[in-house]
Structure formats: C-alpha cells, structure tokens
Amino acid sequence: MNRRIVGAVTAAIVTLLAACGGESEPRELAGYVRDPAPIVGDLELPDLSNGGEPFGISADPGELLVVYFGYTNCPDFCPTTLSDVRLARRELDDPSQVKVAMVTIDPDRDIPILPDYVGGFFPDDGHALGTTDEGLLAQVAAPFGTSYDISTNDDGEIEVGHRTDLYAVDDQGRLVLTWPFGVTKDDLASDFDQLLGADA
C-alpha cells in the first residue's frame, strides 16, 4: 500500500515537472511587433554627435539600435524614457551592444544643443540626429509610425506634441520592436537580451 502511494506521488510529481519545467515557452516581449517589420535601414539623418556625418538608421552587426523621437525641452516623457534606457543598458552583460539614437522633432531649437543633451545620457555611444529639412524628417518618421506637431500659442510660446514610443532596429535595418511609454527598465533590459539572443 505504501509503495503504491509513493509510486503514485512520484508519478504525479514527474508529470507536474514535465508540464511546468520541461520546454518553457519564451517570455513574452514587453514591446509589440509589427508584421511585416518596417525597413528603416536605408534612411539617413545627420549625426550631430559626429560633425553632422550621415547616420544610417541600422544597428551594427550583432547589436541593437534604440531610436527615440523627442526634443530637449520636453519636461517629462523624453528624459524619463532616455533615463530608463540608460538604466536598462546597465543591466546587460555588454551594454555596448545596445546603441541609442535620439531624433529631434524640434530642430530649430535643438540642433545646437542636442549632442550635449544626448551625451548627458549616453556619453560614449549616443547619437544625436537632427535636420532642418522638414521633408527629410517626415520621411524618416513615417515608417516608424511616429507623429509630432509644433505650434506657437497665442502667447508666442512654442508647444510640441509627439508620440512617446521607443523603437528597436536590428542590424538588417528592420524595426523589430516598439515599446509604448511606461515600459519598465527591467522589461526593457529583458527585451534587449531577448532580441540580442535572437540574432546570436
């Protein structure tokens, strides 16, 4: 009788372990995937962090490029997002595998100061991208699905509105993941790891 009980319990444990700990399903990404993935790697903007040299919007081989559209006078979303990305990179074994590019949507005010602003978050490998060519900026923004608006109110103050998403581009120039505002740094770090692992 005891042997039968022990055998039954053992069988139940084995079955439970097989169900729970066998081949675990991959973790669900915090961001969302667009299918088909937009191709952005053939787009270029001046890199103000590198003397205005053309910067192709694609990651280096085996890396990720995180892209954000924002502006330096943003009081909340932009600095919060860049800070979260900075903290998430620190959780990686090799933070240099994730580069960051900020595209200004307010070039008239930002171009002189954007490199210092981006460098404050990513001093060694941040890219400050900006152009006064409105058509080029719109062309780059379109495949990301981002939008922005700059206007002047009745008091003469500049008002800026923009989407607050964050984007991951792989080394094939594909927009592989989009994060809405509010994703935690831990989820960002886990997604970075997962996306880098998928390319390994």
Write out pLDDT tens, residues 54-96. Answer: 999 999 999 999 999 999 999 999 999 999 999 999 999 999 9
Query: Would residue 60 count as lying in a domain?
Result: yes
11 within some domain: no
Residue 21 within any structural domain of the chain: no
Q: What is the mean pLDDT of residues 7-25?
A: 45
CA-to-CA distance for 66 and 150, rounded, in angstroms? 24
Q: Quick one: what percent of the chain has pLDDT higher than 90?
A: 77
Q: Does residue 186 belong to any structural domain of this protein? A: yes
Identity of the residue numbered 92 = L
Q: Is the peptide bond before 36 cis (omega within 30 degrees of 0)?
A: yes
Residue 56, C-beta contacts closer than 8 angstroms, at least 6 positions apart? 41, 42, 43, 44, 173
66 vs 119: CA distance, rounded Å = 15
DSSP state of 173: S
Residue 184 lies in a domain: yes
C-beta separation of 47 from 125 below 8 A:
no
Domain housing 146: 30-198
What is the pLDDT at residue 18? 43
Alpha-carbon distance of 137 to 45, in angstroms, equals 8
| 102 Rama sector, left if φ>0, alpha if ψ -120 to 50, beta otherwise | beta
CATH number of the domain bearing residue 143: 3.40.30.10
Q: Is residue 25 part of a domain?
A: no
Per-residue pLDDT tens digits for 91-145: 999 999 999 999 999 999 999 999 999 999 999 899 999 999 999 999 999 999 9
Q: Is residue 19 part of a domain?
A: no
Phi, psi at 136, each rounded to 5° = -65, -45
Biggest alpha carbon–alpha carbon distance for the chain = 88
Distances (CA, A) of 105 to 46, 74, 82: 13, 11, 15
Residue 9 has pLDDT above 80, yes or no: no
What pLDDT score does 80 carry? 96
Neighbours of 162 (CB within 10 A): 19
| Mean pLDDT, rounded, of the chain | 88
pTM listed for this prediction: 0.85
Domain membership flag for residue 87: yes
Instruction: Give the number of domains in the chain.
Output: 1
Asked whether residue 183 carries a pLDDT value surpassing 80, the answer given is yes
Let me know: does 102 contact 122? Beta carbons within 8 Å.
Answer: no
- Between the CA atoms of 72, 75, 77 and 83, what dihedral angle is there, to the nearest 10 degrees? 70
State the residue for tokens 């886990």. 190
- In degrees and rounded to multiples of 5, residue 158 shows phi and psi of -80, 130
Give tens-digit pLDDT for 144-168.
999 999 888 888 888 898 999 999 9
